[in-house]
Each structure stands twice: as C-alpha cells, then as structure tokens.
Chains A and B, each alone.
Chain A
C-alpha cells in the first residue's frame, strides 16, 4: 500500500472514498508501509494518510474494518530485513500506540504479526498480543508470513488467551516453480501452501492473501519473472482466458473470483494505485464462477 509515498495523498483519498462508496469495508495497512518507497527509510506514511482521511470523514471509522501490522518496520534506514523492530512485548506495546496515534483511532479490528521473530520466545509475543485483546485495543490477531508449524506453536502457547485466528500469505492462481526466487516475495514462508489450506480449514482460521494479482502480472506479462515459466502456468493462463471470455470479464477479476469462492475462506487483498484498478477489483470479488468453471481452473496444473 503506497498511500503517502508512490500514491500521493489526493489520489489516496480518492481511492479510499470510492472504495467505501462502492461498499468496500476492509482496509489493511502496516506500520512499515512504505519504508522502501520513502526517503526516510521508515514506513508510517500509509497509516498517516488513512488517519487523516478518517479524521476528515466523521463516522467513517465505524464503517470500516481496520487492520495494521507490527514487526517488520526497520529499526534503522536500510535495516530491512535483518534489523527489524520484531515482536518483543515492549515493541508490540509501543508499536500499537504509535499506529493508533497515526490512524487517529482507539482500536484496531485486527492486528497482525507482520513477520516472524524467532529471537523472542513465542510466549512473550502471544502474551503481549493477548493483553491488547483483553484491553479491547485490538479485536483479533493474525500472523503473516509464518510457516504453519510456528503458527501452531504460537496457538499452543496462547492457550487460555486468544491466539492467532487468521493467516496472511501470498497466493494467486499462478504458482512459481518450486524453490525458484520471486522478486516480489522476500519472505521464505510467505507462500500459501496446500498445508496452509489444510491447517486453516481444519482448525478454523481465516486466510487473507496478498499480491493476488501478482503485481499486475496477469495484465503485464513482463512483470512475471522466470519463476512463473512452466507448463502448469501455461495451462492455467489458457483456462483463465477461456473463463474470462465466457464471463466477459478480465483475467484479474476471474483470479479474484477463484480465490474468493473456493473451499477455504480466502480474502484477497488488492493494492490499488488508481480508481480504475479499484473498480476492477471490486467487480472481481463480486463475480461468481460456476462449479464447472472452477473445476476446470483447479484441474490445470
């Protein structure tokens, strides 16, 4: 989310207004958006824009489901990914106050552990998050870019207190080759896997997925790196084009419909930098595939 960095404040506000006018309700940001696009080397611009937008629209805060994240803000400019704020109790306590201040609100509907922090005992992290829920500062907690076994460990450690009930990972219809590096994915365990789907459906976790449109890769093939080159994706693109033609819609919209309507409860998160992209995405999540179309899309591997 590039509000306040690549996307200027005027455009950001336009997108936000149109989003809620069109019935959009969920806004996800992070305390570190977008450190990589800001001269300061730190994030926070996105939360600040959203905070000013909320302040200028009385009553709006109650109409949106607001989430932000902690853990992956660089401690020093250039510190990502080795020198991050992490998930200690002290960091979580300070970071949530800073985020609340930036967003101009007294509570978050959902608070995310943005990355893992294995230098901190998982009990400490879960205690800190649990206190925020107990105090009513955050509604629920989730984790992003964690492997399933660590999530299970954290949920075990939280026993008696609320634990993570939602996962955020990268997922889309096309998949890269095994172990081939993908430029826009720096997190080793940032991928949704078949194991994630099994874990989430078995124990009852929600799944949000990021970069579902592969940074524009369905429209601009040059944005898909070599890792996406394999016959499984060739087959998937062919089916995707067929289904898009049948529904007289775009590839992006079919991908969003495929994610939303599957067996597992997946919520795709779309980063928009223009109103046109937003309109396309909103129409996509409202699209429904029939069972035959879904089966054909699933069968292509």
Chain B
C-alpha cells in the first residue's frame, strides 16, 4: 500500500531483523512494532503516524486521531461460545439484553451468577458486559482463545474473527458482533497540528490509494 503511495522501502523489510527503515527517498522513517503497541507509539508522538486495526485502538483507549480506513484487514470482534455451552448461560445473556428489568445476579443460571469470558481484549469485553449489566469474570489470555470454552476454562470468548473458520473448526459459534474492524491510519494529535503540511499530504495520497483500490 505504501509503495503504491510512492513510499518505497528497501526490499528486505520483511526478512531483516532491523526495526527501523528509511524510505528510499529519505522522506519517511518507518518502525516495525507489535500491533498492540502501535497506538502507544503514536499517542506519545514517538511516531507521528501509525497503522493498526480498529480493535487494537479500541482496546488501547489511546487518545489519537483516526482519520482514514485503509480498506484492508477486515474482521469482526465477536462474542462466541460453544454450541454445548450451558444453555443457562445463553438464557442468562438473553435475559440481560432483552429484559433490562431483570436484576443482575438473579438470572436463571443458578450455579454461578457471572459469565466467564476469555479474551485478548479485557477492556472491550468489560465495557461490553458492563453496558448490558451482566456480571462477568474476565480471563485475559495471550493466544489460542478458542481453546478456553472447549476445556471449561470459560463460558464465552471475545475474539477477532476473519472468516469464522477457526471458530467453526473448534465447534464455536458467534453469539454477537461487538464491532467491525479494519486497518486504520492513526495520527498523533500534536503532530497533526505541528507537522500539518506533511501529515495532510500523506493523508491525501493514502486516501487516493484507498479509493483506487476499492474501485478495482
């Protein structure tokens, strides 16, 4: 995408162990960081601009501008559970969403008043269940989230789904979609003001590239 915007980097970016790369024309310097760290780098102004998924931005709660959808990396952040998940848990969730008068903690699931949810997105998950008034116990995991409901660690998971194949192969189904996600361009608030010409020029170029690609 960047090369289509005429920002070219040396060929070996993917293979190299270096983390910092100058563009061929020396106008840009790119750093490679873990996706979850991108909002932090941009919020602190260590990088003026970043590219990260909307899911990552939501979870980070970083104070940033996010002016552009880059049109790739589409996926959904969903609540999912196994088909065999205790029917009580499902009934309880439905009671919580459709009938706000049901007092939290007195739902039909008698053995435990809380739903256990495994996720890489503890903040989004907590917000989601808090808004519905459903007591929740969040189990923060670093990966292989699908495993948790299969071996009884959790009733539900909140995770990113692209095609849904992984869920299906593990016998899980989507309960609800929390948010749609795709790659976003992030801009530091101070950089947007103090380097406005450069930032806006790059924004406009990328906007054009996105438009071209989506019209193909």
Are A and B bound to each other?
no
B residues apposed to A, CB below 8 Å = none
A residues apposed to B, CB below 8 Å = none
